Amino acid sequence: MSARLAPINPKPFLQDLLQKPVLVRLKWGQEYRGTLQSIDNYMNLQLLNTEEFVDGKNTGALGEVMIRCNNVLWISGDEGEREVKMEE
């Protein structure tokens, strides 16, 4: 029997992650690790103290980053919290 994940409402999930470290994976494989500073009504993300990872390798510090919502594959609390998958 396969494990089933319960659906999570993304808006409260993201609000719970505000001011906390997060890991964001984009549809194209890049990952961004930083502090979730803010979200808007469209669920666009603003990260602070952001680092970029490509193929698992740190490519450097980026500082403040804005990520458009439609580019996000999944978001996870960077301390091993729940993760939510966003699909079209």
Q: Is residue 2 assigned to a domain?
A: no
The 10s digit of each residue's pLDDT in 3-45 is 677 788 888 999 999 999 999 999 999 999 999 999 999 999 9
Number of domains in the chain: 1
**DSSP 8-class letter at 7:** P
66 with 45: CB under 8 angstroms? Answer: yes
Q: Is residue 62 assigned to a domain?
A: yes
Q: Is residue 42 assigned to a domain?
A: yes
Q: Is residue 46 assigned to a domain?
A: yes
Q: Is residue 31 assigned to a domain?
A: yes
- Spatial CA neighbour of 30 closest among 69, 72, 82, 88: 72
Quick one: pLDDT at residue 71?
96
- Global pTM value: 0.79
CA distances (Å), 55 to each of 27, 45, 63, in order? 13, 22, 20
The per-residue pLDDT of the chain, averaged, comes to: 87
Q: Is residue 3 assigned to a domain?
A: no
CATH number of the domain encompassing residue 29: 2.30.30.100
The domain in which residue 21 lies consists of: 10-85
pLDDT-derived band of residue 82, with 50, 70 and 90 as boundaries? very low
